Amino acid sequence: MIRIITDSAADLTARDLETPGVAVVPMSITFADGTAALDDGSMTKDEFFARLAADSKLPRTSQPSPASFIQQFEDAAVAGDEVVVITIAQKLSGTYQCAVLAAAETDAKVYIVDSETATQGEAIIVREAVRLREQGLSASRIAAELDSFKKRVRVVAIVDSLKHLQKGGRLPAAVALVGGALGIKPVLALYDSTIRLVDKGRGRPGALVALFRQLDKQGGVDPAYGYTLLYSDDKQLTAPVHHYMHQNLQLTGGRVGQIGPTIGTHIGPGAVGVAFVTPAQ
């Protein structure tokens, strides 16, 4: 059997988590008062965003320890299973390196893929790994296919503010200032391991128009893979995006996934977006 392991930054849905042979290594969150929690569902996503709004300082996010990966790899080795690991973008976290260090400490056959993305973009890559496994591909072949496939994955989202990304060190202060004008909502794109300020709009209606424009600018949506709507603390914000995807682009097969604590720390409340796969060239 081939085990597929990812980290909690992938924000897998409940349906994803029910897939046999898929496991998640949790990251951790440390709040301003020193209390810590694993991003393993013990604190719900809604509870996290309520805490984020109440605290004056941003929490800190931490990558999993190599030991948490080692346990997963050793279990696989005992069972005679191979492992495909899909991590959050290496430029955004040290999780990839932790997995590499852990793999060197075990006898398991482990293939590690830097997703070059996060949240529902990372989840798309996990689902593709599951699909390739069902087709009977070997672990090494799955990893090779994912290294190509990930270049087609995009996440485009509206955020209320860039302050969380800037405070967390994920965005330069100069870029954060560009998106900080009164009434302006930034539109971000994540691909190739980089968070980019790609557009902006006045108010949420203007930002939605900018987001829809980016779907085409990023290369369009491959209908074979559907799409995933993502949001931080308010699911109702996905309604106009779903309407556009369904009515304007005639796309079906949409999923909805809430952003979890690991990514939510840096994105903040009021975020909404879409993760998708661009057509093959």
Domain 152-277 bears CATH identifier 3.40.1710.10: no
- Per CATH, which fold does 2-151 belong to? Rossmann fold (3.40.50)
Burial of 182-203, coded b for 16+ CB within 10 Å and e otherwise, reads eeebbbbbbbebebebbbbbee
The one-letter amino acid at 268: G
**pLDDT tier at 162, thresholds 50, 70, 90:** confident
Domain ranges of the chain: 2-151, 152-277
* Distance, CA of 263 to CA of 266 (rounded, Å): 6
The one-letter amino acid at 78: V
Domains 2-151 and 152-277 share a fold: no
* Distance, CA of 87 to CA of 126 (rounded, Å): 9
**pLDDT tier at 174, thresholds 50, 70, 90:** very low
Distances (CA, A) of 25 to 46, 164, 167, 252: 20, 24, 25, 31
- Model confidence over 90-148: pLDDT tens digits? 999 999 999 999 999 999 999 999 999 999 999 999 999 999 999 999 999 999 999 99
Count how many Cα atoms sit within 13 Å of the Cα of residue 25 in the half-sphere of its side chain: 27
Q: pTM, whole model, 2 decimals?
A: 0.93
